Structure 1
Amino acid sequence: MLPELRQDLALHPGPDAPDGSPTWMLHDPASNRFFSLSWPAFELLSRWALGTVEALVDAVNRDTTLHVGEADVDGLARMLAGNHLIVPRGPQDTQRLAAHAQALKLSAGQWLLKNYLFFRLPLVRPMHWLQRMSPWVRWAYQPAFWAGVVGLSLLGLVLAARQWDEFTHTFTSYASWDGLLAIGIALSFAKVLHELGHAFTATRFGCRVPAMGVAFLVMWPVLYTDTNEAWKLRSRRQRLAIGAAGMLSELALAAIALVAWSLLPDTPGWGPVRSGAFLLATTTWVLTLAINASPFMRFDGYFLLSDAVNMPNLHERAFAMARWWLRECLFGWGDEPPEPVQPARRRWLIAFAAATWVYRLVLFLGIALLVYHAFFKALGLVLMAVELGWFIARPVWREFKAWWQRRADLRWNRASGRTVLLAGGLLVVLVWPWQTSVRAPGMLGPLQTQAVYAPYAAQVAGALPRAGDAVRAGQPLLALRSPELAARLAQAQAREQQLQWQLNQQPFDERLMEAGTALRKRWEAAAAEVSGLGEEMKRLTIVAPFDGKVADVTEDAPVGAWIPAGERLLQVIGSQGSKVDVFVDEASLPSIAEGQMARFVPAAPEQAAVQCKVARVDAVQLVSLDMPALAGPFGGEIPARRANDGRLLPLQPTFHVRLDQCGQAVALRTEWPGTAHLEGERRSLLGRAWQRAAATWHREAGL
């Protein structure tokens, strides 16, 4: 006996299938879902009242040109039962419904996970209002209106081109919290108009709009309109119009706003209105095309593409076809394709599924990083792990699970043999301990080098040495004069002499005797100040730190010139030997040890590569980088930012490695940036990846 169908179900004619056969839509009003039925399924369902399988099969085969069997009836019955489209009568139906209800029960963690990732919040039931307001928006569906929109777009572009500099520079005025608030208000207005475009267009074609509201995708609000009844429309043109209505509404708004921005006066009274028009003319259509037009997520672009190629449930069907193709390539099971399609359409579905997987992988990785940075570290790491596990690891695990469940079907054939060879080769590549080379930016320079800076704001009292002059350790290089420091020293000496006299007279003066030991403490402090200022005065005479030659003498310090504190004056280079300062990241640090060989390749082609040895590995990361040529702001490879005090701060953990014994008998006269290749320990790629991930987790978690 056939199960009894629910009485509230409705059948609607559907669009023709790609092969030209008719289709029908079965509507379930309880869940507002639509099911596409093929011609055989419709013929069976329309005679369902016959009651028995035999009578149903005989009637369809007798009255139509189709040939169906009991397997077709059984498949249709299972589809109806699985989607709760039949009336439950017996204990089996009760058990099925109970099992379904039990499967829908979620634990507290599952409920939180599901509602954190995605949930909908219906706000209004707009059907009555839409029907009442539809006559007032009929003008928006006339060809004359859209011809006017095209004309306004061209006029707006011409007017904006006449004041293009002002138009482009307006973007910079929104780089603030007030600007972001203005962008949010403009986007909210545009998105409401977007959803009203869907709703009014669906109402115009006789579809019911049961709800409008906001959906939260990973806690990010997105407006939505329930236009599921568009599936009952037989006209593909009407379905395309409903899907495109939102984006067309925003584009029309952008065209009007662009003309308004060009014509409105730039006065304080019209300033907010003009700013709003600018935002609507720029941000709305850009974000609409960037987000809604993408067919890789279930936004407007997906439904437009689905209707354009006449394939409902495009993602699911493409994924099923791609999974079938992947399994056949890997194992050669010989399964039939999920659905019969032309070879060209099959290849397109597989390519579309692959592109969607890559797009979603990049998108979900970006969302995971965004979620991590939006919360404090501990919660951010947990939520990022949830994102990666749910959106990336979970689908991969489900596919592996499906392979394992069919392990009994595995046979030795050409596909499985190729898979074994590829898997074995990949395993060898991942686990074999390769001899790795650590590549890191570095600076080749003389073994001994010392830059000379002005210790204080001072006046140059003597001529600077010339570049190339040989100097000895301790030899005076430059004399500076600081009247301020000399005056402070004179005052300190006078104060110290006065306190010393008072200290000598203390045994003979009752007033000084009352000061007690405090007088001696004051004298000792004054004497220490004199000694310190004397040492500072000695620093005004700059001497050579070691034997070498003078290089990089500044031309901005002639005799008598005043120079600020910290001004670079010259550099002293040692007479022999070279060294390389290398900067490595945290993941490469464990592979480097003292005594390892390294090869440094200068960036300048005229400088030959040199062989060196690791002399020192600093285990403490750098606080600041003192080699601007290697920093990102100056074109180097090390990510860094400039602090308010001028220092360069690395943006990621960076460690210093010193290389020496570079085979340079004569010291270089200048420094050369380049790349160092250090011999690392033998480690597998899998081990390196695990160590890098563990180090990142350990660092970001603050353990």
Structure 2
Amino acid sequence: MQTPPSSNDPFDIRVKVDPAVQFSERGEGSETTFVASDSRTGKFYRFGNREYHAASLMDGEHTLAQINEQLRKDGVDWSAEDVLKYARELVQHRLAHVQPDAIGTTETDRPNPNDSRSHDRRGSGQRVLGWMSKVLSQRIPLADGDRIAEALLGSMGKLFQPTAIAVLGALIISGVAVVWTHHDALTLEVKRIFDRGLWLSLAVLWCLLKVIHECGHAVCAKRLGVRVGKMGVLFFLFAPLAYVDVTNAWKLPRRRDRIQIALAGVYVELIVGAIAAWIWYLSPVGMIRHVSAHVFLLAGPATILVNANPLLRLDGYYVFSDLTEIPNLRDQGRKRLLAWIERILFGIEMPQCHLSGWRRDIAVIHALCSVIFQIAWMMGLVIAIAAWAKGLGIVIAAVAVTLWAVVPLVRWMCKIWTTPGREGWVLSFYQRRLLTLSSTLCVVIHLMVVSASPFSRRVPVVVRYHGEQIERAPVGAFVAAIYVTCGQRVERGELLVELEQPELTVKRNQLADQLAAASRKAIQHRRRGELAMANALTEKGESLRRQIEELDQQVASLRIVADRQGQVTSSTIDQLHGRYVKLGDEIIRISDPQEKELLAVVSEDNLIAFRNAVQSETAAKIRLRGGPSIQAALAPLHPAASRRLPHPALSASNGGPLPIEPKGSDGQMLVSPQLQSVIPLDVMTSMKIKSGQIGRLTIPDDRSLVARLNDYLRERR
């Protein structure tokens, strides 16, 4: 038999859609869609009208060039490259195959024994990627979902009746209303959910809720006549997740039925969350109330964020795809987004989009949002796994980065490198552009790792009076007289307040009597020659004399005088007359409004950066809360760090930036040691700001961007 002549024209290839692929029409909406069911794998693929029309022409008899010509005659605005790419996608998904005896078969389509090594290398690479993907995700079927759905249909099936949907919908709304009106109390439960001691119980609750979620999908599908596949456990990053196979739902012709099945799991979980919300509201403080709050958080907000999110390829994605009538939404949107990026970076002409009108824009917007969201989502998962599982977590993180970032990036770069056209002397235009962009990216990454960050560090500051005199009660006493008022100007040595403590005078007189008696007895014993007794009484007299001196000092301290010139700034001084003040209670403050200073509190992490900023002698920018922005020259740090709270306004309990912890009966102390720097202010600046104002002082950041991001993530954990 004579071998047909070979051809180098790929459009002479004949492609035939596999007979196992069956198409069914979806006639709802403004655009007809088709679902391709592969009976060999049980997978379903959605096609638009033009894709289906092109696939129907791939019968193994017509070449791609003939199919392209027929599509043009039928009004389908596809280029020859679009037809070739579409045929390649069908072959890659094994929905079609190239006819081996086609006249248009090229030399590269025929098996070549010399290429066995390259085939082996590609096969080995695919096997390695397959093993790596199994490390991240493993699906284990456990039971026949159809039988379980049949058993639950009698009980759970009633949830999907129209009357039940209306009643339970009202229940869900009422549960949301209860939580909304009592969100302050629920916020406390939200803070406790991150307690590590509760992780095990939360994991158990999460697994139970996900089983209920998947049962909702299965029962709803069975109720609508869809055969349910296997049910089992999906381990994603070693986290157990229940799953159920309801892919046969694509056979349903009505869009609302498919949407109902997709939302059934979220619907059932929201019912559980609403019941938990009411139990939380009606229960007294205790374990039942605590567990109910956690069930609501997992079945309500967590489910909406994950399962109902259209940016993840879960329930919300399929609902959004059905509502917009965009088949293969993610694939088409990301291909269009990638083509848009290639056009900007390399000037590659964008191919004809299979979507038209607003659907094309929606697909691109969805692709962009989903890529950004999933990058942030996956980065969080990778960092959490790496921190939680230590060495094993680092291995898993490396595998995830390889599969999700490195492999797709390498494949995309190979595609650009091998793109024909626009040849040059040595390298093509696309290859030169790829090398330029790669080099630029490497330089940017190097700068992010090595160079100092262009952003700034922030140091908390508080405004206070310079040299302020703060007088506190030396003992527990009554305020007998007040000689000044708030806002009054006083001079140094002026009497401000007099306190009264009669017990001190009585006690001093008693000690004076004891001292006099001891002196007389000591003289008598010395006259009798009893020197030992005389010396003992003399020592006792010295002790009494010291106690009297201390009492005299306390009595003298009851008269509070001004140690400096200034103004009375205590707003409550006029209310203290006749009242009893305890030891340490503040009585009066004397300061000068024209003399203020900034107290900067510097953590150990910012120590070196702050010292460098001081040495540079550049004015720092300070932004005060509720006040103007000012500039001031930095002052050196005090040498010793302390955990003592430097100013009450800086405490986190008062709305400040510094975290504190109890210190027994002495008050509060800082969680970590802090250094201090006192920055003087000029008269004009002092008059514009108020004492007690807190703010942020910015200094240059000596860290790289990567180090800054690492520190931020560490603080968040």
TM-score when normalising by structure 2? 0.65
Moved more, 574-583 or 662-671: 662-671
Residues of 2 paired with 1:576 and 1:255: CA distance? 59
Residue pair 1:321, 1:350 contacting (<8 A) in 2 also: yes
Quick one: structure 1 residues 130 and 411, their matched pair in 2 at CA, closer, same or farther if it must change by over 3 Å?
closer
Residues of 1 paired with 2:553 and 2:397: CA distance? 58
Backbone CA RMSD of aligned residues = 6.7
Q: How far did 1:553 drift?
A: 6.1
Residues of 1 paired with 2:45 and 2:175: CA distance? 50
Letter in 1 for 2:613: I
- Select the residue among 205, 228, 250 that pairs with 2:247: 228
Letter in 2 for 1:300: D
- Select the residue among 345, 356, 360 that pairs with 2:359: 345
Residues of 2 paired with 1:5 and 1:527: CA distance? 116
Aligned twin of 1:291 = 306
- Select the residue among 618, 633, 652 that pairs with 1:596: 618
Residues of 2 paired with 1:364 and 1:19: CA distance? 35
Quick one: structure 1 residues 344 and 267, their matched pair in 2 at CA, closer, same or farther if it must change by over 3 Å?
closer
Aligned twin of 1:193 = 212
Aligned twin of 1:330 = 345
Q: How far did 1:298 drift?
A: 1.9
The DSSP-based 3-state class of the residue aligned with 2:320 is helix
The DSSP-based 3-state class of the residue aligned with 1:623 is strand
Residue pair 2:465, 2:592 contacting (<8 A) in 1 also: yes
Residue deviations 1:570-614, cap 9 Å, x none?
112259744333456755635521543356677677xx9876432
Residues of 1 paired with 2:122 and 2:354: CA distance? 33
Residues of 2 paired with 1:82 and 1:451: CA distance? 85
Moved more, 648-657 or 351-360: 648-657
Q: How far did 1:291 drift?
A: 3.0
Quick one: structure 1 residues 352 and 530, their matched pair in 2 at CA, closer, same or farther if it must change by over 3 Å?
farther
Is 1:355 paired with 2:375? no
Q: How far did 1:295 drift?
A: 0.5
Residues of 2 paired with 1:691 and 1:165: CA distance? 40
Aligned twin of 1:52 = none
Moved more, 589-598 or 688-697: 688-697
Q: How far did 1:148 drift?
A: 4.0
Residue pair 2:479, 2:581 contacting (<8 A) in 1 also: yes
Is 1:615 paired with 2:635? yes
Q: How far did 1:322 drift?
A: 0.9
The DSSP-based 3-state class of the residue aligned with 1:657 is strand
Query: Any unmatched runs of 5+ in structure 1?
Result: 48-55, 513-518
Quick one: structure 1 residues 169 and 102, their matched pair in 2 at CA, closer, same or farther if it must change by over 3 Å?
closer
Is 1:100 paired with 2:113? no
Is 1:150 paired with 2:171? no
Q: How does 1:441-456 map to 2 (within 5 A)?
A: 442-456=461-475
Letter in 2 for 1:200: V
Residues of 2 paired with 1:696 and 1:131: CA distance? 51
Is 1:567 paired with 2:585? yes
Letter in 2 for 1:328: R
Quick one: structure 1 residues 369 and 434, their matched pair in 2 at CA, closer, same or farther if it must change by over 3 Å?
closer
Quick one: structure 1 residues 261 and 228, their matched pair in 2 at CA, closer, same or farther if it must change by over 3 Å?
same
Residue deviations 1:238-281, cap 9 Å, x none?
433321222333456667889x979x9x799xx99999999888
Is 1:305 paired with 2:324? no
Residue deviations 1:305-332, cap 9 Å, x none?
2233344543233222211111212321
Residues of 1 paired with 2:271 and 2:694: CA distance? 54
The DSSP-based 3-state class of the residue aligned with 2:583 is coil
Aligned twin of 2:88 = 75
Residues of 2 paired with 1:202 and 1:46: CA distance? 34
Is 1:11 paired with 2:30? no
Q: How far did 1:624 drift?
A: 4.8
Residue pair 2:217, 2:265 contacting (<8 A) in 1 also: yes
Moved more, 219-228 or 397-406: 397-406
Quick one: structure 1 residues 228 and 604, their matched pair in 2 at CA, closer, same or farther if it must change by over 3 Å?
closer
Residues of 2 paired with 1:380 and 1:581: CA distance? 46
Residue pair 1:617, 1:656 contacting (<8 A) in 2 also: yes
Residues of 2 paired with 1:423 and 1:554: CA distance? 63
Residue pair 2:622, 2:695 contacting (<8 A) in 1 also: yes
Q: How far did 1:304 drift?
A: 1.5
- Select the residue among 233, 248, 258 that pairs with 1:239: 258
Q: How does 1:30-109 map to 2 (within 5 A)?
A: 32-34=42-44, 39=52, 56-57=61-62, 75=88, 78-79=91-92, 96=119, 99-100=122-123, 103-105=126-128
Residues of 2 paired with 1:627 and 1:381: CA distance? 42
- Select the residue among 648, 662, 682 that pairs with 1:662: 682
Residue pair 1:445, 1:579 contacting (<8 A) in 2 also: yes
Q: How far did 1:462 drift?
A: 5.1
Moved more, 545-554 or 434-443: 434-443
Residue pair 1:454, 1:566 contacting (<8 A) in 2 also: yes
Q: How far did 1:225 drift?
A: 1.6
Residue pair 2:460, 2:694 contacting (<8 A) in 1 also: yes
Is 1:27 paired with 2:39? yes
Letter in 2 for 1:617: L
Q: How far did 1:348 drift?
A: 1.7
Residues of 1 paired with 2:181 and 2:709: CA distance? 47
In the alignment of these two chains, the number of paired residues is: 653
Quick one: structure 1 residues 223 and 450, their matched pair in 2 at CA, closer, same or farther if it must change by over 3 Å?
farther
Q: How does 1:415-434 map to 2 (within 5 A)?
A: none
Residues of 1 paired with 2:632 and 2:320: CA distance? 60
Quick one: structure 1 residues 536 and 353, their matched pair in 2 at CA, closer, same or farther if it must change by over 3 Å?
farther
- Select the residue among 326, 333, 337 that pairs with 1:318: 333
Residues of 2 paired with 1:94 and 1:82: CA distance? 27
Quick one: structure 1 residues 672 and 120, their matched pair in 2 at CA, closer, same or farther if it must change by over 3 Å?
same
Letter in 1 for 2:585: E
Residue pair 2:91, 2:98 contacting (<8 A) in 1 also: no
Q: How far did 1:79 drift?
A: 1.9
Residues of 1 paired with 2:496 and 2:139: CA distance? 76
Q: How far did 1:550 drift?
A: 3.9
Aligned twin of 2:423 = none
Q: How far did 1:465 drift?
A: 4.5
Letter in 2 for 1:563: V
The DSSP-based 3-state class of the residue aligned with 1:330 is helix
Residue deviations 1:518-542, cap 9 Å, x none?
x999999999999988877776665
Quick one: structure 1 residues 158 and 349, their matched pair in 2 at CA, closer, same or farther if it must change by over 3 Å?
closer
Moved more, 239-248 or 521-530: 521-530
Q: How far did 1:81 drift?
A: 6.8
Moved more, 538-547 or 165-174: 165-174
Residue deviations 1:140-197, cap 9 Å, x none?
55xxx31243146448978998x99998798589679899989988776654332112
Quick one: structure 1 residues 5 and 646, their matched pair in 2 at CA, closer, same or farther if it must change by over 3 Å?
farther
Residues of 1 paired with 2:430 and 2:179: CA distance? 67
Q: How does 1:256-275 map to 2 (within 5 A)?
A: none
Quick one: structure 1 residues 202 and 538, their matched pair in 2 at CA, closer, same or farther if it must change by over 3 Å?
same
Quick one: structure 1 residues 119 and 329, their matched pair in 2 at CA, closer, same or farther if it must change by over 3 Å?
same
Residues of 2 paired with 1:274 and 1:596: CA distance? 56
Residues of 2 paired with 1:351 and 1:388: CA distance? 26
Residue pair 2:477, 2:582 contacting (<8 A) in 1 also: yes
The DSSP-based 3-state class of the residue aligned with 1:75 is helix
Quick one: structure 1 residues 158 and 139, their matched pair in 2 at CA, closer, same or farther if it must change by over 3 Å?
closer
Residue pair 1:13, 1:23 contacting (<8 A) in 2 also: yes
